[in-house]
A and B are shown apart, each in its own frame.
Chain A
Amino acid sequence: MATQSISVPRDKTNDRRVMVKEAKRNAWAYVFISPFYLLYAVFGMFPLLYGVWLSFHKWDGISPMEWVGLRNYARLFVDDIWWYSVYNTIWLFFAATVPQIILALILAFIINSPYIKGKDFFRAAFFMPIVASAVAVSLLFVTLFGERYGLLNFFTSLVGLPPVDWLGDRNWLKPSIALVTIWQWTGYTMIIFLAGLQSINTELYEAARVDGAQTREIFWNITMPLMRPVILFQVILSIIGAMQNFDIPVMLAGGTQSSSPGGTDRSGLVAMVNLFWTAFKYTEFGYAAAMAFLLFLMILVFSFAYNRWQGGNPTD
C-alpha cells in the first residue's frame, strides 16, 4: 500500500483532501485495529481513571460513596504497614530481579555461543518453570522449604548448616520469596535476551575474533553495548512486574485465606497483597484505590529514573 500512496501529489492545499481519501481507501484497516481501542477504552483506560476518582472517596463497595478529598492519601502517608509493604516490594525487586537479570544474561550468552551443544535442551529446561502456575509452584516450594523436614534444609544440613525456618522466620521469608521468583523467571528473561543476542550480526564477532579478541572482551565490548536497549526494556518491564508481584508472595506467606497477610510480622507483605486485603477483605475500596494510584506513580518514577540513568529510550 505504501507504494501506491507515494504517487499522490503532495500539495499543501490538497493535504486534507488526500488524507480523507487515504483514510477512506484504508477504511478496512481501521476496522481491523479498532477492537483493541474499544476494549482498551472499556477495560483499560476507564478503570485507571475511575480508580483515581475512587481514591478520593470512602467506599465499602455497597453503600453510597462518600467524598473525602485527599484524606485517603493523608492516611496513607502515615500508614506504617503500607510503607513496610512498599519496602518489602522494593526489597524483593532488588533481591529477585537484579540477580535474575544478571543470571539470565550470562546463561543467554553461554547458550548463544556457537560451540555449545544441546541448545534446544537447555533452552527448554530453563524455560520450564515459567510454564508452571505460580500457585502450583508455591505449593511445591512450601514443601521444599519445610522447617524441619524440607528438602532444602536436608541439603544445607549436608554441608553442616543449621536448619532454617524458611517461611516462618521473619528474616528468611523475603529471601525465600526471592529464591522462588528467581527460579521461576530467570529462564523467561534468558529467552528474551537470547532473542536479542541472535539479532546481533555475527560478522561483528568474527571480526573481533580475527583481531584476537577474547570471549570476555567480546562480551563486554560488543555484546553488552548492543544489548543495552533489550536490557533496558527488560528492566523496565521487571519494575512494572515486581511492583505488582502477588502470586508467589501471597502463597508462600500463608495463602489467600490467611488471617495474617504477609506471614510472620508481615515480613512477606508486598504492596499488592496489602492492596488486595485492604480492598477485598477489609472492603476499603477507596483507600485501596489510593494505594493503587500511589503504586502507579512509583512505577512511573522508577521507570523514568532508570531510563534517565541509563540514558536510553526503551521504545527504540
Chain B
Amino acid sequence: MATTTQGSFTSRRASRSTGRDRLMGPAGMTALYAVLIIGSLITVFPFYFMLVTSTHRSETILRIPPPLWFGDRLVANYNDLLAALPFWNSLWNSVAIAAIHTALVLFFCSLGGYGFAKFRFPGREPLFAFLLATLMVPGALGLIPSFIIMRNLGWIDTWYPFIIPGIANAFGIFWMRQYIDQAIPNDLMDAARIDGAHEFRIYWNVIVPVIVPALGALAILTFIGSWNNFFFPLLILKDEAKYTLPVALSTLRSLRGTEIGVQILGAAGAILPILIVFVVASRQFMSGLTAGAVKGG
C-alpha cells in the first residue's frame, strides 16, 4: 500500500486546483462509498445468515420472514450433524492434508523459484517459458488418466493424490521467483559462497529467512486451495473415514430430510476455520499478495 499513500499527497493537492470532478466531488464520493458498502454487505451477509441459520430448526428457517437473529438449536443441530457424518474426523483429514501439502509446496516452490531467480544456467529461458506455459494448460482435462494413474499407483483412498502431485507447481515457483528476484541482492549469496557455504545451506540459511512474506502469502493461497479441493478427493476417496470436509459435506446435499440448520452448520464448520485464519492474517496476506504480483515477467 506504500505506493497509494505516497501518491495521495501530491494528487490530492493537484485535484484541489482543478475543482469540479464528478466522481471525486462530495456526491461522487458518497456514491463510491455506497458501491463499496453495498458490495461488501452482499459478500458478508450470507456468512452472517449462515451463522444465524445454523442455530435454528427447519420450521423456523422456513418461516416468512426468515430469522435474522440467533436461535437456540445450535446444540441440537450439532448433535444431528455428528450423527449424519463424522464431522471432526473429516475436519482433521482436511487440516492434515492441507498442512502437509502446504509445507511441501513452500519448500519445493521456494527452492525452484530460487533456482530460476538467482542462477544463470544454460537452458534457463526455455525451461522457464515451458513452466509458464503449463499454467495455461487446463489440468482438469487430464483428470481421467490421473485417476487411472492413482489407481495403478495404489493411491486410491489415500492422501497422496492431494499431497504429492502439486508440491512443485508452476504457480508457486513463478510466485517465489518474482519475489526472490526483487527482494534478494546477489551480494548476499556471493558473500556466503566466498565463505565456502554449500549451495543448499545458502538456500536454507540465507534465502529462506528473507522470503518469509512471500512464503506467507503462498502458504495461505495453497492452504485455502487444498482445504476447498473437491473434485479430485471426490474421485479418490471411497472410505467415509478418509473423507475430507467438502466431500463429507457434499453427501449432505443428497440426504433428503436432513434438517436445513444441520446442513448449514456443516457448511459453517468448513468455512469458519479457514475464514478465521484469513481474517487474522488478511493484512499481511493482502500486502504479500499484491507485493508478489506487482512486477510481472
Contacts and interface: CB of A to CB of B under 8 A. Distances in A.
A77 interface: no
Interface residues of A, number: 122
B120 A140 contact: no
A316 interface: yes
Contact of A36 (B118, B168, B251, B254): B168
A111 B286 CA distance: 13
A146 B65 CA distance: 13
Max chain B Cβ within 10 angstroms of own Cβ: one of A106, A115, A134, A272: A115
B111 A1 contact: no
A19 B118 CA distance: 17
A305 interface: no
Contacts of A146: 62
A125 interface: yes
A102 B161 CA distance: 36
A195 B289 contact: yes
Contact of B120 (A1, A126, A316): A1
Given A46-B145, A51-B142, A135-B249, A210 B119 contact: no
Contacts of B43: 125-126, 128-129, 183, 186-187
Interface residues of B, number: 121
Interface in B234-289: 234-235, 245-246, 249-254, 260, 263-264, 266-268, 270-271, 274-275, 278-279, 282-283, 286, 289
A42 B246 CA distance: 27
B182 interface: no
Interface stretch (A85-93, A168-176, A254-262): A254-262
A164 interface: no
A198 B294 contact: yes
* Interface of B: prevailing SS: helix
A29 B66 contact: no
A129 B199 CA distance: 42
A136 B62 contact: no
A235 interface: no
Interface in B134-165: 134, 136-149, 164-165
Contacts of B167: 35, 39
Given A128-B278, A143-B61, A244-B140, A316 B44 contact: no
B115 A29 contact: yes
Nearest to A247: B230
Contact of B141 (A139, A143, A292): A292
Contacts of B297: 315-316
B277 to A, nearest CB: 8
A198 B3 CA distance: 7
Contacts of A19: 122
Rank and list the top 5 A-B pairs by shortest CB-CB distance, nearest first: A47-B142, A202-B7, A114-B8, A32-B115, A29-B119
Given A120-B282, A140-B49, 5 more contacts: A114-B7, A195-B294, A198-B294, A202-B6, A236-B136
Interface of B: 1, 3-8, 10-12, 14-15, 17-18, 21-24, 28-29, 32-33, 35-36, 39-40, 42-44, 46-47, 49-50, 53, 61-66, 108, 111-112, 114-116, 118-124, 127, 129, 131-132, 134, 136-149, 164-170, 173, 186, 199-200, 203, 224, 227-228, 230-231, 234-235, 245-246, 249-254, 260, 263-264, 266-268, 270-271, 274-275, 278-279, 282-283, 286, 289-290, 293-297
19 contacts: A29-B115, A29-B119, A31-B115, A32-B119, A35-B108, A43-B164, A116-B36, A127-B278, A128-B275, A134-B230, A135-B250, A144-B49, A191-B286, A202-B4, A210-B17, A255-B254, A256-B250, A289-B145, A292-B142
